[in-house]
Amino acid sequence: MSHTAHIPSHRKPRRSASKLAVRAGVAGGVLSTLAMAGTASASPSAEPVAETTLEMPVLTADLGADVSSAVTTAAENTRLAAVEGELTAQEETARTGAAAEAKQAKADAQQKADAEKKAKEEADRKAESERAARSSARTTLASTSASDSGSGSGSSVTKPSRGTGTVTAPATGSAAAIVNFARAQVGKAYVLGGTGPSSFDCSGLVGAAYRQAGISLPRMSQDQSAAGTSVSLGSLQPGDILYWGSKGNAYHVAVYVGGGKYVGAQNSKTGIVERSLSYDKPTGAVRIL
């Protein structure tokens, strides 16, 4: 054998690094498993841990549609609440405004009524003062004219008294009964609808006076002014009925008592009075006797 001949080597073949790493990993895993098993066998047994499984609900409805519907309903409810609130506010404003207008209208009406009442009272006072002045002057003239009449002769002598009617001699007979009764009521109260004996209205006084002469007259002033025969204010005699307004539609009546005067139930303020024709000139007269 040649000394150069190849002699097989007795050394083991070298393993690759990768194979060594794999074997080391497998060995390490086995050792770890054995160590854990030993530890488990050495420690006391523990109760097994119960596992809990949560089941999620299954959605069977269309979630998107439900959300959309809920949003729409909420929006509509909000809108309706806003509309209702606005209507309530408008109603409250209207009530407040109406109450204020009614209060102002009442105040204006009361102020107007007070002003009219004051003006009327002032006008009445002025008219009363003027009438009193005229009455004083006419009374003096009437007294002078009456003294010139033929007293005691039984005849009637008349003299005009500047547009206030006529001045006549004292009444006799039925006329005297009427005149005397009317004058006896002066000072009594005026009461609408009164026919005596303590109070009268205008037609109630005239009717009561004529009953003293046995004559029955209609109750109302309109009818009394249409009774008998019309006479002029320049030809008056005691007992004639004077009226204010139109014949058959008079609003006031009185009894002419002679001397240019009459007795009448004027109003609730003055009662029954005797006054000159010039105080409140009548429209006309009628004669019953």
> Is residue 277 predicted with pLDDT exceeding 70?
yes
pLDDT level of residue 17 (50, 70, 90 thresholds): low
Of the chain, the percentage scoring pLDDT greater than 90 comes to 40
CA distance 247 to 232: 12
pLDDT in tens, 27-86: 566 555 555 655 555 445 445 555 555 555 555 556 667 777 888 888 888 888 888 888
Residue 242: per-residue pLDDT: 98
- CB atoms under 10 Å from CB of 75, counted, come to 10
User: Which amino acid, 220?
Assistant: M
Residue 103 structure tokens? 């209060």
What is residue 233's predicted lDDT score, i.e. its pLDDT?
95
Position 25 confidence tier, pLDDT thresholds 50, 70, 90? low
Average pLDDT of 242-265? 96
Residue 248: the pLDDT is 93
**Lookup: tokens for 163:** 């547009």
Domain boundaries, the chain: 80-148, 161-287
Of these ranges, 10-19, 108-117, 140-149, 276-285, the one predicted with the greatest mean pLDDT is: 276-285
What sign for the dihedral angle of Cα 245, 247, 252, 253?
Answer: positive
State the pairing for strand pair 241-246/271-276. unpaired
Q: What six digits make up the tokens of 195?
A: 């026919």
Q: Compute the mean pLDDT over every residue in the chain, rounded to the nearest whole number.
A: 76
Tell me what pLDDT residue 65 has.
74
What are the pLDDT digits (tens) for 127-169? 666 665 555 544 444 444 444 433 333 333 333 333 344 445 5
Comparing CA positions, the residue from 225, 266, 227, 226 lying closest to residue 243 is 225
- pLDDT-derived band at 243 (thresholds 50, 70, 90) equals very high
Return the CATH superfamily for domain 161-287. endopeptidase domain like (from Nostoc punctiforme) (3.90.1720.10)
Q: What is the pLDDT of residue 53?
A: 58
Determine which of 49-53, 195-199, 228-232 has the lowest per-residue pLDDT on average.
49-53
Q: What is the pLDDT of residues 87-132, one digit of tens each?
A: 888 888 888 888 888 888 888 888 888 888 887 777 777 666 666 5
Mean pLDDT of all residues in 8-37: 56
